[in-house]
Amino acid sequence: MSNTIVIVYLGANRIEIGRSADACPQEIIAWKTGSINEKNREELKKIFEHYFQICNILGNREVQVLILEDIFISVVEKRIICSILFKEFDCAHVSFVPRAIVHCLSCNTRNAIVIDIGTNYTTCVPIFDLRPLQQFIKYSKRGKRQVESRIPLPGSLYMPIFFDEEYNSKNCEVDETPVINLVKNIVESLPIDLRRPLRENIIIVNIEEAYETVIRNLFKLKMDTSKIQFPKNYWQAGSACAKILLHYKGSNIVGIERDEFYNNPHIAPDWFDYYFRTGVKRLQ
């Protein structure tokens, strides 16, 4: 069964694809466009086709796919993905799970603020009991592209993303807020009983190991945060997630089946829909 479960990690600048039985992705492909649309639909199709061919699963109607998605992926993008996987490759099932939840699972926690440093922007996603707290999600345009052209001091490459001594909320756009300020804003806006468990458990994604110590110390200094984690085994967590979700017998409410898609080709799973929020219980 695990040989027919395919995991797809949709990153800000890359796509990783592999089987759930493997310890790491088999293919890592640059995806510079970031978003998915009709213009790059054919390119995405070729990525899937190449992988299905090398794994000898092209034409296998039992293939199930789990998409580890960006928290801001649109329903339109999901429809394109589903259309490719169902119409072009006749897959049996497609499920979507926010990457932030998988990173929590990889860190063996149900509660955290997950910071994902992307190419064009950075997201801060509060997770409680493995549920994204939608109304408290924030993002900043401070991403990797902003610091790529800089010549940083040793260990300080990501400093402008996380902290800015000259930052003044009155003079800056809301979407240009440094990440540490975003996290503070999230914590202050949370219900009182949720503040401590999330403030004390920060997960940071897409930071090179050489910069981890600097960022960890910065958070401890500016936020008195007790636990900073940089997940390394998200692929294994995604595999475990796939086995739980895709082996569930019955109505899988975080994904759609082939027949369901053909009955309604406009359908697309939306994690923030009420029924999808209740479905997270199956990850326990």
179: domain range? Answer: 108-229
What is the Cα gyration radius of the chain?
19
Residues 17 and 82 in one domain: yes
Residues 178 and 221 in one domain: yes
Q: Which of 71, 231, 76 lies closest to 139 in space, CA to CA?
A: 71
Contact 164, 178 (CB under 8 A): yes
Tens of each residue's pLDDT in the chain, 284 residues: 556 889 999 876 789 999 888 888 999 998 877 688 899 999 999 999 999 999 999 989 999 999 998 888 888 899 999 999 999 999 999 988 888 988 998 899 999 999 998 877 889 999 998 888 989 999 888 777 666 655 555 556 677 677 765 554 555 565 678 888 889 999 999 999 999 999 989 999 988 888 888 888 888 888 877 789 998 888 888 887 777 666 654 444 478 889 988 988 887 777 665 444 444 444 44
- With tokens 């088999």, the residue in question is 26
Q: What does the alpha-carbon distance between residue 275 and residue 218 come to, in Å, rounded to a whole number?
A: 39
- With tokens 């990889």, the residue in question is 106
Residues 132 and 44 in one domain: no
Residues 6 and 90 in one domain: yes
Contact 237, 103 (CB under 8 A): yes
Residues 68 and 113 in one domain: no
At 183, which CATH number? 3.30.420.40
Residues 188 and 274 in one domain: no
Residues 207 and 151 in one domain: yes
Rounded to 5 degrees, what are φ and ψ at 127?
-120, 125
Q: What's the pLDDT tens digit per position in 176-201?
A: 788 888 899 999 999 999 999 999 89
Q: What's the pLDDT tens digit per position in 132-142?
A: 898 999 988 87
Report the predicted TM-score, pTM, of the whole model to 2 decimal places.
0.84
Residues 121 and 207 in one domain: yes
DSSP secondary structure string for all residues of 38-76 = TTSHHHHHHHHHHHHHHTT-TT-TT-EEEEEE-TT--HH
Residues 132 and 224 in one domain: yes
Residues 112 and 94 in one domain: no
Q: Which of 98, 114, 77 lies closest to 271 in space, CA to CA?
A: 98
The one-letter code for the residue type at 199 is R
Instruction: Report how many domains make up the chain.
Output: 2
The angle formed by the CA atoms of residues 110, 98 and 260, to the nearest 5 degrees, is 120
